[in-house]
Amino acid sequence: MEKLLEVKDLEVSFQTYAGEVRAVRGVTFDLYKGETLAIVGESGSGKSVTSQTIMKLIPMPPGKITNGQILFDGVDLVPKSNKEMEQIRGKDIGMIFQDPMTSLNPTMKVGMQIMEGLIKHQNMSKANAKSRAIELLRLVGIPMPEKRVNQYPHEFSGGMRQRVMIAIALASSPKLLIADEPTTALDVTIQAQILDLMKDLQKKLDTSIIFITHDLGVVANVADRVAVMYAGKIIETGTVDEIFYNPQHPYTWGLLASMPSLDNEGGEELTAIPGSPPDLSNPPKGDAFAPRNHYAMKIDFEQEPPMFKITDTHYAATWLLHPDAPKVEPPEAVKKRMISLSTSHLIKEGK
């Protein structure tokens, strides 16, 4: 498979009154053409900053890329000016934000908001751009697109507004689509519809997707690969099956254990990860997750673990994978969740 995006040792900091906050600390990952990569982690883990840095959308200052490369189609985006990035945003890289009501212009008809990118990036006439906008609204599942193209955002429901945002992001047929928590503000039924829509559109358009979320459950049937982020670093990465059925990092165990289960007949309580993420204005020594890790060893508080190889596609940064470390099994709550996920997957596949 051909690589579309290579992020290499990316570091991003913000200057604040409390000092320098190191929001992203040496993030490295690849994205292949036609692939969906989910980046998962709690609020403050650095996933949204990473995605916005790819598009050079972080405010500079106070934000600053202090190290690393962002190779998109072999070209490094880091040194590019804002004016140069304007030719890439929308045309080659599209973005869907968390809350469509704060992203859509309330004073403009939705059709015109879709048409803007077509007129700017593809030099379309207004008439052709409007026809394309109607096509895109139909593509994302909005009924009566000929009528809806002349309506304002407040005339759409939350789920329909998110569909409009997807239409805008897809208008110029970008090679890469970044979806930053696109279903968080939606109810579960609409959330499932939006996820199915994105999966369907990816097959039709062969677009690569980076899906940002705090909820592992959301990506189970959407992603090809998963990168788990904590305290500004990727701490585990693998195929979706490897992350869900053979997780290795205690933080990934915690995320899995905190997922609600659909077959929770006994009223089993969700397991919360104890403590809080670290203050990244003063990153801790050793493994940043150690203070919250029930299985932490002395070395976790002294040295940062490297990425240990589990398979050719699966890596995790935990000292538990060192040959001299004690053998530790995932907690029972995680094992139950893995069985539950496996069962629901088989049901969905009709097996």
Per-residue pLDDT reduced to its tens digit, 91-112: 899 988 877 777 889 999 999 9
More confident residue, 29 or 273: 29
Query: Is 90 exceeded by the pLDDT of residue 203?
Result: no
3-class DSSP state of 300? helix
pLDDT average, residue stretch 18-47: 93
- Number of domain units in the chain: 2
- Do 201 and 309 fall within a single domain? no
Q: How far is 54 from 68, CA to CA, in rounded Å?
A: 11
Residue where a domain stops, chosen among 186, 207, 223: 223
- Do 216 and 311 fall within a single domain? no
Q: Is residue 221 exposed (0-12), middle (13-18) or buried (19+ Cβ within 10 Å)?
A: middle
Work out the number of other CB atoms within 10 angstroms of the CB of residue 64: 14
Residue in 162, 241, 170, 161 with CA at minimum distance from that of residue 204: 170
- Do 216 and 243 fall within a single domain? no
Query: Is 90 exceeded by the pLDDT of residue 252?
Result: yes
Structure-block tokens of residue 72: 């998109």
- Radius of gyration of the chain measured on its C-alpha atoms: 21
The CATH number linked to 316 is: 3.40.50.300
108's CB contacts (< 8 A; 6+ apart) are 152
- Do 140 and 243 fall within a single domain? no
Query: Is 50 exceeded by the pLDDT of residue 330?
Result: yes
- Do 186 and 244 fall within a single domain? no
Average pLDDT over the chain, rounded to an integer: 88
- Do 103 and 215 fall within a single domain? yes
Q: How far is 225 from 161, CA to CA, in rounded Å?
A: 28
Q: What is the pLDDT of residue 303?
A: 95
318's CB contacts (< 8 A; 6+ apart) are 235, 236, 248, 249, 250, 287, 305, 308
Residue spans of beta strands (DSSP E) within the chain = 3-16, 19-32, 36-40, 63-72, 75-76, 93-96, 176-180, 208-213, 225-230, 233-239, 308-309, 315-316
Residue 190 — pLDDT band, cuts 50, 70, 90? confident
Using the 8-state DSSP alphabet, how is residue 322 labeled? S
Structure-block tokens of residue 136: 């895109």
Encode pLDDT of 152-164 as tens digits. 999 998 888 988 9
Q: Are strands 233-239 and 75-76 parallel, antiparallel or unpaired?
A: unpaired
Structure-block tokens of residue 124: 């379309």
- Do 328 and 343 fall within a single domain? yes
Strand partners of residue 19: 16
Query: Is 50 exceeded by the pLDDT of residue 347?
Result: no
Categorise residue 129: left if φ over 0, alpha if ψ from -120 to 50, beta otherwise: alpha
Q: What is the pLDDT of residue 39?
A: 95
Residues above pLDDT 70, as percent of the chain: 93
Query: Is the distance from CB of 192 to CB of 106 less than 8 angstroms?
Result: no
pLDDT average, residue stretch 227-244: 95
Q: Is residue 151 exposed (0-12), middle (13-18) or buried (19+ Cβ within 10 Å)?
A: middle
What is the reported pTM? 0.90
Residue where a domain stops, chosen among 189, 223, 257: 223
Query: Is 90 exceeded by the pLDDT of residue 221?
Result: no
Q: Which helix (H) or strand (E) holds 166?
A: helix 158-170
- Do 181 and 247 fall within a single domain? no
Query: Is the distance from CB of 240 to CB of 225 less than 8 angstroms?
Result: yes
- Do 273 and 196 fall within a single domain? no
**Cα angle: 90, vertex 185, 60; to 5 degrees:** 45
Which stretch of 119-123, 144-148, 296-300 has the lowest confidence by average pLDDT?
A: 119-123
Q: What is the pLDDT of residue 297?
A: 94
Structure-block tokens of residue 7: 């992020």
Query: Is the distance from CB of 258 to CB of 271 less than 8 angstroms?
Result: yes
Measured between its terminal Cα atoms, the distance across the chain in Å is: 29
- Do 254 and 203 fall within a single domain? no
Q: What is the pLDDT of residue 265?
A: 52
Residue in 281, 283, 285, 284 with CA at minimum distance from that of residue 18: 281
What is the CA 14 to chain-centroid distance, rounded? Answer: 21
**What domain range includes position 33?**
3-223
- Do 200 and 234 fall within a single domain? no
- Do 191 and 337 fall within a single domain? no
Q: How far is 12 from 27, CA to CA, in rounded Å?
A: 9
Query: Is the distance from CB of 72 to CB of 32 less than 8 angstroms?
Result: no
**Cα angle: 336, vertex 340, 344; to 5 degrees:** 175
Residue where a domain stops, chosen among 223, 248, 271: 223
